[in-house]
Amino acid sequence: MLDPIHPIHSAILEILCRKPLSTAELKNTLDARGITVSTPNLYRIVSHLITAQVLVKQRGKLSLHRLWVSEFLQFAETLGEWSRHSEESVDLPEKEGEQRVYRADSLAGLDPLWNHLLLQITEKAENKVFEEYDAHAWYLLATPDSEAAVYRAIARNGFTVRLGIGGKTTLDLHAVKALESNKEISVCSAAVTPFPSDGYIAVACGSYSIELVLPEILRRQFAIFFQNVQSMADFEPERFADVFRMKCPCSLTVRKSQKHAETLREAMGTMWK
């Protein structure tokens, strides 16, 4: 099964859902959408998808393989049943004023749980507004594909999605600009905010909130990048990702409190005025 978050794979499938194309036409369409992939790499991806019987090529045109579509539709039906009747392995606080702490051994280890919880709280939200504050764009820089995918998923469920970044460093502004191409998401950056200026992330959705405070050792490591990178040419994504994967106890807190969520929302609202 393909990685549904992979931006190139997802784009190829979406494009070829509409009509068959040659590899050259597919490349032009990807370019027009702002999806960067070299011609040799695209040929490798297409070859892999043909071998996996996801795509089929006939008379120079690529289209979706009917066997894969049949299997995927069956899988989608199973997922639909799961979403309607499944029991959650991750329990949210249910009573007003209750909170729960979730832990992992790194930010990278926390990321899958973080994204799962984001979607989980939207399913229980009484209104359709999702707001988030990140003191710096740690996740947008370390895992841009999964971050964009989770915000798109929330927006597709009918939510207004607002993301505020509490910094105007070169890296923060780059992350904001990259996300601005997604018209389903509103994103801004501000040098002065009512929140902590470093090491803090907060989400407010309905009566739920999620808060994450980065351990001091990770703040210091990330600060080297945010303070010193003056051009994206100087940015080393793999070294940045190494900090993201660094073994260090990390935790986030989910709270069910209408009052606390409203307080966070009011503070976030000042970033959009």
Q: Helix or strand or coil: residue 214?
A: coil
pLDDT score at 266: 95
Whether residue 264 lies inside any domain: the answer is yes
pLDDT digits (tens, 9 = 90+) for 86-121: 566 568 899 999 999 999 999 999 998 999 999 999
122 and 155 assigned to the same domain: yes
Q: What distance in Å separates the CA atoms of residue 77 and residue 82, rounded to the nearest whole number?
A: 9
Range of the domain at 217: 99-272
Residue type, 224: I
* Pairing, β 99-104 against β 61-64: unpaired
Residue 27 C-alpha from the chain's centroid: 25
107 and 233 assigned to the same domain: yes
Whether residue 94 lies inside any domain: the answer is no
Confidence check: pLDDT of 254 > 80: yes
pLDDT score at 246: 95
* Pairing, β 208-213 against β 200-205: antiparallel
pLDDT band with cut points at 50, 70 and 90 for residue 272: confident
Contacts of 94-100 with C-beta under 8 Å, sequence gap 24+, read 94/256, 95/256, 96/207, 96/256, 96/257, 96/258, 97/256, 97/257, 98/255, 98/256, 99/253, 99/254, 99/255, 99/256, 99/257, 100/253, 100/254
Whether residue 93 lies inside any domain: the answer is no
User: What's the pTM?
Assistant: 0.75
Whether residue 14 lies inside any domain: the answer is yes
pLDDT digits (tens, 9 = 90+) for 116-137: 999 999 988 888 999 999 999 9
Task: Report the domain count for the chain.
Answer: 2
> How many residues can be counted in the chain?
273
118 and 232 assigned to the same domain: yes
pLDDT score at 86: 59
pLDDT digits (tens, 9 = 90+) for 30-84: 988 878 889 999 999 999 999 988 899 988 999 999 888 888 888 878 777 766 6
* Pairing, β 185-189 against β 160-165: parallel
pLDDT band with cut points at 50, 70 and 90 for residue 183: confident
pLDDT score at 102: 94
CATH number at residue 123: 3.30.870.10
| Beta bridge pairs of residue 101 | 253
H helices of the chain, in order, are 7-18, 23-32, 39-51, 66-85, 107-123, 138-142, 144-156, 170-180, 216-228, 237-245, 258-269
Whether residue 92 lies inside any domain: the answer is no
Q: What distance in Å separates the CA atoms of residue 5 and residue 270, rounded to the nearest whole number?
A: 32
Q: What distance in Å separates the CA atoms of residue 16 and residue 63, rounded to the nearest whole number?
A: 6
